[in-house]
Amino acid sequence: MSTIYILWLRQLKRYVRSKPRMVGALGQPLLFLVALGFGFGPIYAKAGGGNYIDFLAPGIIAMGVLFTAVFTGIEIIWDRQFGFLKETLVAPVSRMQIMIGRTLGGATVATIQGLIVFLMTLAIGFRPASVLMLPVALVFIFVTAVFFAGLGTCFGSYLEDMQAFPLIMNFLMMPLFFLSGSLFPLAGLPAGIQAVAAVDPLTFGVDGLRGALTGMSHFSMGIDFVILSLMALTVLSIGRALFARIQI
């Protein structure tokens, strides 16, 4: 457990010390909030959808979690190239503890980033439907962060080229984001898009978060939590297997 705690703490220290990284990760969510929230807001209202900021905010919070969590995986490649990973792997502790510590650290960092984005949404006018549901929203943020931090660990354990990692991640993450219902309602979409959204892990994170913050959900928060949790456990198991195969 001490190994998990040390690696978790190391991830947090990296995040706190990297102020440009903290600020830079907020740029894209802020752009989407302002440009889409105020740009499409009147159109969404005229279509009978209500306040678009209220609909958009949970998706943008999930977006901040998504990209922060998954890109913590690149630190595995970085540490492998500069020798820190070798020093960690030769220590008399199991690789599973090392992987869990790194993944939980990345998930915690992504959760903090999601909370900062949440504060940004409050600043532009978003108001949660119920303050009592905020702990539930936090749970969905964290489970989403665990899934995508685990996914980043999978790719970081498999890839050795630091330049390939962001290219592959962007290739995968942007479709996951746009097809998750973050920017538009899933109801009424073509059957093909709804089928893709139904297997998109971020869909359940966004839907659960939207249900907790606004009371609106496409599925139900119970279904969202169960499916997202099962996906998180699955990706952690895969990440454990890939991390165990790293050669030093």
pLDDT single digits (tens) 165-213: 778 888 888 899 999 989 888 887 888 888 998 999 999 999 999 999 9
Domain that residue 95 falls in: 2-244
> How many residues belong to the chain?
248
DSSP tag of 219: S
Cα distance between residue 185 and residue 30, in whole Å = 20
pLDDT value for 224: 95
Q: Look-up: residue for tokens 């820190």? A: 84
Average pLDDT, the chain: 84
Per-residue pLDDT of 99-118, as tens digits, reads 888 888 889 989 999 999 99
Q: What percent of the chain has pLDDT over 90?
A: 35
Domain count, the chain: 1
Residues 6+ apart with CB under 8 A from 17: none
Q: How far apart are CA 227 and CA 244, in angstroms?
A: 26
Evaluated on CA atoms 144, 148, 154, 157, the torsion sign reads negative
User: At 83, is the pLDDT very low, low, confident or very high (cuts 50, 70, 90)?
Assistant: low
Our CA dihedral for 53, 63, 177, 246, rounded to 10 degrees, sits at -170
List the structure tokens of 77: 């490649």
- Given a cut of 70, whether residue 24 has pLDDT beyond it is no
Question: With 60 as the cut, is the pLDDT of residue 124 above it?
Answer: yes
> Which of 59-73, 74-88, 136-150, 214-228 is predicted least confidently?
74-88
Q: How confident is the model at residue 38 (pLDDT cuts 50, 70, 90)?
A: confident
Q: What is the pLDDT of residues 132-168, one digit of tens each?
A: 999 999 999 999 999 999 998 888 888 877 777 778 8
The pLDDT value given to residue 19: 59
